[in-house]
Amino acid sequence: MSGDSSSKKRLKIAMVIDSYDDCQNGAAISTHRFVELLRKEYEISVITTGDPALGKIVMPRFYVPIVRRIMKRMNTPLAIPTYRKLRKVIRGMDIVHIQFPFFLGIRSVRIAAKLKIPVISTFHIQAEHLAMNAGIRSSAFIRYCYKIWIKRIYNRSSMVICPSKFAQDELKHYGLKVPTTIISNGFLPMFKPNVVQRDPNYADKFIILSVGRFAPEKQQEIIIKAVRISKHCNEIQLILIGEGPLRKKLEEGGGDLPNPPVFLSLSPEELVKYYNMADLYVHAATVEVECMTVLEAMGCGLPLLIADSPKSATKQFALDNRSLFPCCDVQMLSERIDYWIDHPAELKDAGERYHIFSQKYRIEQSYEKLVEIYRNAEKKGR
């Protein structure tokens, strides 16, 4: 992918990420995808928790007591950085790439600095994610998280990768001083328009799809409430794909609909079918640094309806106001859904426009940008 890479040094890169195995958050999924691409040309060591595997250095794991149950259900442990083991691995690297801003990342940055090895960081996690999942309603907590992350990791990096302009602006707002670049997480080539056989159970239904963790910041309950008051409620089949601690609550919340929501957990290959089967993709999340599922939906030519949240980058993908609704506004979301059901020709046109628009976010383009960042950091670090 990177042109004349065969004549260049085969870089040794450490990917530092607390949760990697069977983890459903966007950061882990994105890291998996880039690692798979990078391993075709470079030597990648993933420093993380979980089960031993080739090219993986395993650290002990732990769970924060007050959110232990949620962390276990979402399979997102934190790593206990074992100093000697970590130093031994990092010492042989050309680049250290930090994915999560926690203890493992902080210690990895310290070691890399002592060894004069360049550090690249990616801003995947907002402090608001932590606050909402822990049930913390405190702006002071959010400011404190950013203060620590920026001081201990981001401002000690050679470059910080931001998945969106919104993410870049957030870090600068909280005091980031080092250079940044915007690189989308991108979407895989498999996410493209396909003619699929619609499930007979949904043959006469308008299918609304939403994909993501069943967690507080994703706000799937807003979609359920909007469907309930839609004038087309009897025609709508809502399909929610993901895993997470709020699944039971969401199932109970949608149980009284004429067509109760369908809950699924699917592989990426199976997911492509549902993106192509659906009529409209609704994303109600209030906190996002980008959102890969929206990229995937666009790649498959699925029209979007997105929450306009001040703490979410996802609104950047809306092509016009018909694809936006005020954050957490059930009435306006319901009205937007009804609009699209009432205007099928416009809906079809929107799907085609979104597919064209999506092509600038293909993962191949993001990969090329990432490799360039690595090469430049390695040269400067010599």
Identity of the residue numbered 102: F
| Predicted confidence (pLDDT) per residue in 93-139, tens digit | 999 999 999 999 999 999 999 999 999 999 999 999 899 988 888 99
Domain assignment of residue 190, yes or no: no
Phi, psi dihedrals of residue 90, rounded to the nearest 5°? -65, -30
207 and 251 co-located in one domain: yes
Q: Which helix (H) or strand (E) holds 149?
A: helix 139-152
The upper half-sphere exposure of residue 137, i.e. CA atoms within 13 Å in the direction of its Cβ, equals: 1
Q: How far apart are CA 361 and CA 371, in angstroms?
A: 16
pLDDT score of 22 more than 80 = no
Confidence class for position 382, pLDDT limits 50, 70, 90: low
Domain assignment of residue 194, yes or no: no
297 and 155 co-located in one domain: no
330 and 371 co-located in one domain: no
pLDDT score of 3 more than 50 = no
92 and 239 co-located in one domain: no
120 and 10 co-located in one domain: yes
19 and 128 co-located in one domain: yes
Domain assignment of residue 257, yes or no: yes
Whichever domain contains 227, its CATH number is 3.40.50.2000
Q: What is the mean pLDDT of residues 354-359?
A: 98
Predicted local distance difference test score (pLDDT) of residue 9: 76
235 and 173 co-located in one domain: no
Domain assignment of residue 195, yes or no: no
Q: Yes or no: say if 105 and 370 are a contact pair by the CB < 8 Å rule.
A: no
Sign of CA dihedral 49, 267, 254, 334: positive
57 and 176 co-located in one domain: yes
pLDDT score of 38 more than 70 = yes
Torsion angle of the four alpha carbons 229, 213, 207, 277, in this order, in degrees rounded to the nearest 10: 170
Domain assignment of residue 143, yes or no: yes
35 and 24 co-located in one domain: yes
Domain that holds residue 116: 5-185+362-380
160 and 50 co-located in one domain: yes
Sheet holding 180-182, edge to edge: 56-58, 43-48, 12-16, 95-98, 119-122, 159-162, 180-182
DSSP classification of residue 312: B
The total domain count for the chain is 2
Domain assignment of residue 192, yes or no: no
Predicted local distance difference test score (pLDDT) of residue 70: 82
Domain assignment of residue 193, yes or no: no
| Predicted confidence (pLDDT) per residue in 223-272, tens digit | 999 999 999 999 999 999 999 889 999 999 999 999 999 999 998 889 99
105 and 176 co-located in one domain: yes
Q: Yes or no: say if 2 and 82 are a contact pair by the CB < 8 Å rule.
A: no
pLDDT score of 355 more than 90 = yes
Q: What is the mean pLDDT of residues 161-181?
A: 97
Domain assignment of residue 238, yes or no: yes
Confidence class for position 375, pLDDT limits 50, 70, 90: very high
335 and 208 co-located in one domain: yes
